Structure 1
Amino acid sequence: MVSALRGGDHAHVVPPVGTDGEAGDLAPAAVRVLGADALLPGLLSRTPPDPAELAVFRKAFEAYPPRADAAPTVRWSHWAMARTLRRADPSSAEAPDEPDTAWLDGATWQVLTHQLAVLAPLALPGEDCAVSRLAEGRPVDVARGFVRAVRRRDWRQAAGAGRWLTLLPGVPETVGLDAGLDFVELMGGQDPLVALQVQAARRMRTGARG
Structure 2
Amino acid sequence: MDQSSASSRIAGAVRDLASEVVFALQSEDHLSTVCGAAGIGEDDRTGIAAVRVIGADLLLPSLLYGRDPHPGDMAVLQRAVIDFPPRAGAPAASAWSHWAMASALGTPRMDDAVLEPDTAWLEQAPWQAFTHQLSVLAPLARPASASAVNRVASHRPADVARGFVRAVRRRDWLQAAGAGRWLATLDGVPDTLGLAAGLDFVQLMGGQDPRVALHLRAAGLIRSGQAR
Q: Separation in 1 of the partners of 2:154 and 2:23?
A: 29
Counterpart in the other structure of 1:177: 195
- State TM-score, norm by structure 1: 0.90
Counterpart in the other structure of 1:89: none
**1:101-121 residue CA offsets vs partner (Å, 9 max, x unmatched):** 121233211111111001101
| Match status 1:41 vs 2:41 | no
Q: Separation in 1 of the partners of 2:126 and 2:159?
A: 8
Checking the alignment, whether the CA contact within 8 Å between 2:48 and 2:79 is kept in structure 1 is yes
Q: Separation in 2 of the partners of 1:106 and 1:209?
A: 31
| Match status 1:134 vs 2:152 | yes
The Cα shift of 1:202 comes to 0.5
| Match status 1:14 vs 2:35 | yes
- Correspondent of 2:100 among 80, 99, 117: 80
How many pairs align? Answer: 201
Checking the alignment, whether the CA contact within 8 Å between 2:143 and 2:227 is kept in structure 1 is no
- Correspondent of 1:155 among 161, 170, 173: 173
| Match status 1:164 vs 2:194 | no
Q: Separation in 2 of the partners of 1:145 and 1:29?
A: 29
What is the root-mean-square deviation of aligned Cα atoms in Å?
Answer: 1.7
More helix per residue: 2
Q: Separation in 1 of the partners of 2:176 and 2:91?
A: 22
Structure 2 portions without partners, runs of 5+? 1-20
Q: Separation in 2 of the partners of 1:60 and 1:106?
A: 30
Task: Tell me the percent identity.
Answer: 57
Q: Equivalences for 1:27-106 in 2 at 5 Å?
A: 27-86=47-106, 92=107, 94=109, 96-106=114-124
Counterpart in the other structure of 1:200: 218
Q: Separation in 1 of the partners of 2:166 and 2:145?
A: 27
**SS of 1:180 mapped into structure 2:** helix
**SS of 1:14 mapped into structure 2:** helix
| Match status 1:188 vs 2:206 | yes
Structure 1 portions without partners, runs of 5+? 87-91
Counterpart in the other structure of 2:9: none
**1:42-69 residue CA offsets vs partner (Å, 9 max, x unmatched):** 0000111111111111111111111121
Structure 1 ranges of 4+ moved more than 3 A: none
Q: Separation in 2 of the partners of 1:32 and 1:78?
A: 8
